[in-house]
Amino acid sequence: MNAALVSNFLSFAGSATFGAIFPILSMVVYGLIGLLTLMYLGSILSRKRPKTIATGSVKVLKKGFDIPVKGVPTGAVENVMVNKFAVQPKNFPYIFPIPKVTVEVGDHVNAGDALFYDRDNTDVKFASPVSGKVVDIHRGAKRSIAEIIVEADKEQTYKTIESINLDSASRETLVSFLAKNGAWPLINERPYDVIPALDTVPRDIFISTFDTAPLAPDNALIVAGKEAAFQTGLNILRKLTSGKVHLGLDGRAEKVNPAFAQAEGVEKHWFSGFHPAGNVGVQIHHTAPIKNGEDKVWTLGVQEVITLGGLITEGRYDASRVVAIGGNKVTKPRYVRTFMGANIGELLGGDGAEGRVISGDILSGEKKEIAEFLNYFDNQVSVIGEGNYYEMFGWILPSKKVPSVSRTYFQGLFPSTKAKDIDANYHGEERAFVMTGEYERMLPMDIYPQHLMKAIVTADYEKMEGLGIHELSEEDVALCEFACTSKQPLQEILRKGLTELYSE
């Protein structure tokens, strides 16, 4: 190429002198550097601190994220007509897949009557949440029992429960009292999230009295009117552990319900922070961490404690539940009163016909069909967009009004708490682990989640245990899964690791 020719051709550009444009160029470059620096500092300085109202020794957890989703349930608790209820054996990890069903289709049961028991643990009965007629026993794969459906009576009748003197009863009496009255499966044992064996004495018992998950119910509504049952439940639990009963309290609430704040005979711990600060796993970590697979602690939710206490205060198996119905595809986010394992379609009453229906919260709940039932421990139904669409150039668009922790979006740089629409689209494709440090920002625990996940994938048992797999449950890593650039199924990986360790 004749360079001289080319340059003659382009002589128009040659007339501009660099000396003239150089000051402008350098101003532009330094200006941009300054702008980016200011934005960086701004995003750090404007970062929201977790609100802390309570005074005293509040553990402030700065990591995590509150996903602002539209459709937060509000208002008073409404009554709702639900006819069908179900108990689903698959809600309990690791119980024998074909439990022994003790009822037949057509039988009438009282609330609290046993429906089935685990063949490996025959004393632990699983109770019917309502009185009514057994209408169906659904079988799943390999003849396992998927669900036992009870059609509720108009007037509820309860199994008669002999009274027990809590003060004088021995631990053994209390354990068999709970087991035969169907209350034992309400207790969750960590690690592994299993129903405890009857002879297990837990090191400690933990109860989180607040839920930070998106669209989660307010526990003050749940405990209202059941304060005595809640306190009695705590008293029962105190007799079951060799250690203490720990209560996690909400450090960001204006006013914590006195049923929690003035509960007696328990250790109280105040936490303030973003989700997952309300997760019991996070609270255990900051109170008395689980050290290994043999270090057993129990966890219960507020509703479970109330049911436990109700056995004594009301003398019946009270499986009533306050359920929060929320999400951007719900026309009227609300609270309803029903019983455990309610039919989701009846609960929604025509709401959420379009969208993804989830039993539990949007991070760790289970996708359900309208005809299916609420899971055993869930007191929340979330309905969000299904997200079955193709988004043109979605991966490069500079900003969208979406909840994000990624600072490639303005929402990630300067997050607003304004509620937004959300859907179940992956917003990307599944990839190998590439980015680092993402999960650590989402988990307020001294744990390296990414390295733990890699240890699970490579079946490195020693590393799994050393890195603290026993401290975790699916709900704890759910937010990491939300934030993951590579869309890795962290909850599934974690459960795989837990299952491998459990079956050893």
Partner 1 sequence: MGLLDFFKKIEPDKKKSGFLHTLYDGFFTFLFVPNHRPTKGAHVHDHTDLKRTMIFVVLALVPLYIFGMFNVGHQHYLALGEYVGVGEGIGAKMLYGALKVLPIYAISMAVGLGIEFYFAFKKGHAIEEGYLVTGALIPLIMPASLPIWILVLAIVFAVIIGKEAFGGTGMNIVNVALLARVFVFFAYPSSISGDAVWVAGVDGYAGATPLALAQNGWASVTNTFSTEQMWWGLIPGSIGETSKPLIILGAMFLILTRIASWRIMLGGIIGMVLMGFVFNAWGATPFMEVPWYYHFYMGSFLFAIAFMATDPVTAASTNRGKWIYGILIGAFGLIIRIFNPAYPEGWMLAILLINVFAPLIDYFVLQSNMKKRLKSA
Q: Which of residues 431-450 bind partner 1 (CB under 8 A)?
A: 431-437, 440, 446-448, 450
Taking the complex as a whole, how short is the minimal distance between the CB of residue 299 and partner 1, in angstroms?
20
Distances (CA, A) of 423 to 189, 399, 402, 484, 503: 33, 17, 10, 16, 36
Q: Determine the residue type at 430.
A: E
Structural tokens at position 331? 């026309």
Binding footprint of partner 1, residue count (CB under 8 A): 105
Which window, 104-112, 149-157, 197-205, 363-371, contacts partner 1 (CB under 8 A)? 363-371
Residue 83 to residue 349: CA distance in whole angstroms: 12
Nearer to partner 1, 62 or 427 (CB): 427
Applying the rule CB under 8 A, the residues between 63 and 122 that interact with partner 1 are: 67, 69
Task: Tell me which of 415, 491, 497, 498 binds partner 1, using CB under 8 A.
Answer: 491
Task: Tell me which of 75, 225, 258, 394 binds partner 1, using CB under 8 A.
Answer: 394
By CB under 8 A, tell whether 228 contacts partner 1: no
Say if CB 58 and CB 52 are below 8 A apart: yes
**Buried b or exposed e, range 394-430, using 16+ CB within 10 angstroms:** eeeeeeeeebbbeeebbbbbebeeebbebbeeeeeee
How buried is residue 25: exposed, middle or buried, by Cβ count under 10 Å (0-12/13-18/19+)?
Answer: exposed
How buried is residue 195: exposed, middle or buried, by Cβ count under 10 Å (0-12/13-18/19+)?
Answer: buried
By CB under 8 A, tell whether 24 contacts partner 1: no
Say if CB 296 and CB 189 are below 8 A apart: yes
Lay out the site mask for partner 1 across 168-207 (x = CB under 8 A, - = otherwise). ----------------------------------------
Taking the complex as a whole, how short is the minimal distance between the CB of residue 91 and partner 1, in angstroms?
14
Q: Could you give the 3-state DSSP secondary structure of residue 216?
A: coil
Residue 474 to residue 497: CA distance in whole angstroms: 11
Task: Tell me which of 7, 46, 122, 331 binds partner 1, using CB under 8 A.
Answer: 7
By CB under 8 A, tell whether 410 contacts partner 1: no
Task: Tell me which of 156, 423, 496, 500 binds partner 1, using CB under 8 A.
Answer: 423
Residue 313 to residue 229: CA distance in whole angstroms: 6
Say if CB 230 and CB 304 are below 8 A apart: no
Check residue 250 and report its DSSP letter: E
Nearer to partner 1, 4 or 76 (CB): 4
Which window, 38-46, 129-137, 165-173, 300-308, contacts partner 1 (CB under 8 A)? 38-46
Provide the pairing of β-strand 100-101 with 132-139.
unpaired
Nearer to partner 1, 23 or 56 (CB): 23
By CB under 8 A, tell whether 417 contacts partner 1: no
Taking the complex as a whole, how short is the minimal distance between the CB of residue 382 and partner 1, in angstroms?
8
Applying the rule CB under 8 A, the residues between 304 and 343 that interact with partner 1 are: none
Taking the complex as a whole, how short is the minimal distance between the CB of residue 466 and partner 1, in angstroms?
3
By CB under 8 A, tell whether 384 contacts partner 1: yes
Nearer to partner 1, 22 or 332 (CB): 22
Strand partners, 245: 205
Region of residue 434 (left: phi > 0; alpha: psi -120 to 50; beta: else): alpha
Which window, 88-96, 177-185, 337-345, 408-416, contacts partner 1 (CB under 8 A)? 408-416
Nearer to partner 1, 345 or 403 (CB): 403
Nearer to partner 1, 79 or 393 (CB): 393
Residue closest to 220 by CA, chosen among 272, 250, 256: 256
Distances (CA, A) of 248 to 118, 205, 300: 31, 11, 11
By CB under 8 A, tell whether 45 contacts partner 1: no
Q: Determine the residue type at 489.
A: P
Nearer to partner 1, 35 or 105 (CB): 35
Taking the complex as a whole, how short is the minimal distance between the CB of residue 61 and partner 1, in angstroms?
17
Taking the complex as a whole, how short is the minimal distance between the CB of residue 8 and partner 1, in angstroms?
9
Applying the rule CB under 8 A, the residues between 459 and 478 that interact with partner 1 are: 463, 466-468, 478
Task: Tell me which of 63, 84, 190, 451 binds partner 1, using CB under 8 A.
Answer: 451
Taking the complex as a whole, how short is the minimal distance between the CB of residue 470 and partner 1, in angstroms?
9
Nearer to partner 1, 353 or 389 (CB): 389
Taking the complex as a whole, how short is the minimal distance between the CB of residue 79 and partner 1, in angstroms?
28
Which residues neighbour 493 within 8 Å (Cβ) at sequence distance 6 or greater? 453, 456, 457
Q: From the CB of residue 214, how many other CB atoms can be counted at a distance below 10 Å?
A: 26
Structural tokens at position 215? 């669209």
Task: Tell me which of 112, 365, 415, 449 binds partner 1, using CB under 8 A.
Answer: 365
Residue closest to 219 by CA, chosen among 266, 257, 181: 257
Say if CB 428 and CB 392 are below 8 A apart: no
By CB under 8 A, tell whether 297 contacts partner 1: no
Residue 81 to residue 338: CA distance in whole angstroms: 8
